[in-house]
Amino acid sequence: MFGKIFYFLLSVFLTIFILEFFLQYSESTSPSLSELDPVLGTTLKKNKAYTYFNEGFSMGYTNKFGYYGPGYSEERTNNSLRIALMGDSYVEGHQLFDRNHFRSILEREISKKTNKKVQVLNFGMSGFDLNDSYCYYMNFANKFKPNLVVYVLESSDFERYSNKDRRPTCYIDNDSLKISYDFRKSKSYNFAKQTSFIRGRSQVIRLIYNDFILIKKGAWKSIVFDKFYLWNGSHNNHYSNIQELKYDLVTKAIVKEIGKEQNAIFLLRDSIHQSIKNDIISNNIQYLNVNDTLNTEIKNGKNPHYWNVTGQLGHWNIDANSLIGEYLANKIIHNLNKAKENK
């Protein structure tokens, strides 16, 4: 009996072990791209290949410096224009190839139209709000000395809502803006750090972990019973009313700091409360809204969030990325020309 159980368990284990290789080499499951850093919190692994299937499909690598797109080193040549893109999953772009992402289009368009050497660096990270993007810029992106920083934001990003258990966060101390690294003490950070070795390497463990999260959320009922159980997922409508936004003192200070220290553009994905807009403009930050360009698509009956292969709504689709890249490129070229005239 013992022998039978032993052989059974051994063959189960060996089968799973072989399937681990299958999952990794067939790129059937999305890899873990993030790792934990005592300064940056959640950050990207370097030189890591990834394939993602969601509403879209993306395949790519993180570069040797730990951000998306071509790996431009920390040194910047004097005559080049370097743009850093900061923001959440819209910037990260796990739905499309880098060549179709607005990062590439922006780079291509400005190079083509100005004959300048342009380098656009993608520092997007899923779930980042303005606070996270600012900390990430201060701790990491600014090492690459960008001439221009583009923050892609939505109204809710002005309220610090994302989980800071694994990320640094800003606070005000004696009227000055500081970054706290208290996340290092959090249980979540330490647990994730201790288990990252196995979670980051095994696809089967990742599958188990992700299933566990779905079970914890209660989604298992709809998965198992399908039409017999209509699961109402927890949709976050918390930020639907921009009037209710808590534009707190810390975020206000972040905007002020960005206006003071950086040549920045805020590219907004949705409407924003007039008071915040005024604050952005008064801090010498250029305010742009993607709706200016995406509305023409919508008027033509195309939904910029619709993905034709999966039939899902989600992040900007390929056409929208192309439009945004061109729109942003035109705005930046306009700024460059204006600056030249002023000189």
- Verify binding: residue 217, another protein, rule CB under 8 A: no
Q: Is 310 helix (H, G, I), strand (E, B) or coil?
A: coil
- Verify binding: residue 343, another protein, rule CB under 8 A: no
- Verify binding: residue 220, another protein, rule CB under 8 A: yes
Supply the minimum distance, in Å, between the C-beta of residue 327 and another protein: 19
Q: Which residue has the tokens 């709504």?
A: 313
Nearest to 267 by CA among 333, 334, 329: 329
- Verify binding: residue 261, another protein, rule CB under 8 A: no
What 45-54 contacts at long range (C-beta under 8 Å, 24+ apart), as own/partner pairs, is 45/200, 50/94, 51/27, 52/94, 52/95, 54/94, 54/95, 54/310, 54/312, 54/314
Task: For residue 21, list its beta bridge partners.
Answer: none
Between 318 and 333, CB nearer to another protein: 318
Single residue of 115, 174, 197, 228 touching another protein by CB under 8 A:
228
Q: How far apart are the first and last CA of the chain?
A: 88
Which residues, numbered 87-106, are part of the site for another protein (CB under 8 A)? 97, 99-100
- On whether the CB atoms of residues 102 and 328 are closer than 8 A, the answer is yes
Supply the minimum distance, in Å, between the C-beta of residue 307 and another protein: 9
Supply the minimum distance, in Å, between the C-beta of residue 334 and another protein: 28
- Verify binding: residue 216, another protein, rule CB under 8 A: no
Between 97 and 181, CB nearer to another protein: 97
- Taking CB under 8 A as the binding criterion, the range among 23-31, 112-120, 150-158, 254-262 that sits at the site for another protein is 23-31
Which residues, numbered 299-328, are part of the site for another protein (CB under 8 A)? 308-309, 318
DSSP secondary structure letter of residue 223: H
- On whether the CB atoms of residues 267 and 328 are closer than 8 A, the answer is yes
Q: Is 82 helix (H, G, I), strand (E, B) or coil?
A: strand
- Taking CB under 8 A as the binding criterion, the range among 52-60, 169-177, 240-248, 259-267 that sits at the site for another protein is 52-60
- Verify binding: residue 191, another protein, rule CB under 8 A: no
Which residues, numbered 195-214, are part of the site for another protein (CB under 8 A)? 204, 207-208, 210-211, 214
- Taking CB under 8 A as the binding criterion, the range among 48-56, 150-158, 167-175, 292-300 that sits at the site for another protein is 48-56
Tokens representing 106? 């922006």
- Verify binding: residue 64, another protein, rule CB under 8 A: no
Distances (CA, A) of 121 to 47, 112, 184, 194, 254: 15, 18, 27, 31, 21
Single residue of 15, 194, 282, 337 touching another protein by CB under 8 A:
15
Between 19 and 179, CB nearer to another protein: 19
Between 163 and 308, CB nearer to another protein: 308
Supply the minimum distance, in Å, between the C-beta of residue 62 and another protein: 14
* Strand locations in 7-160 (E): 34-37, 41-44, 49-53, 57-61, 80-87, 117-122, 148-153
d(C-alpha 259, C-alpha 283), whole Å: 5
d(C-alpha 101, C-alpha 293), whole Å: 16
| Positions that interact with another protein (CB under 8 A) | 3-16, 19, 22-23, 25-29, 49, 53, 56-57, 59, 97, 99-100, 204, 207-208, 210-211, 214, 220, 223-228, 308-309, 318
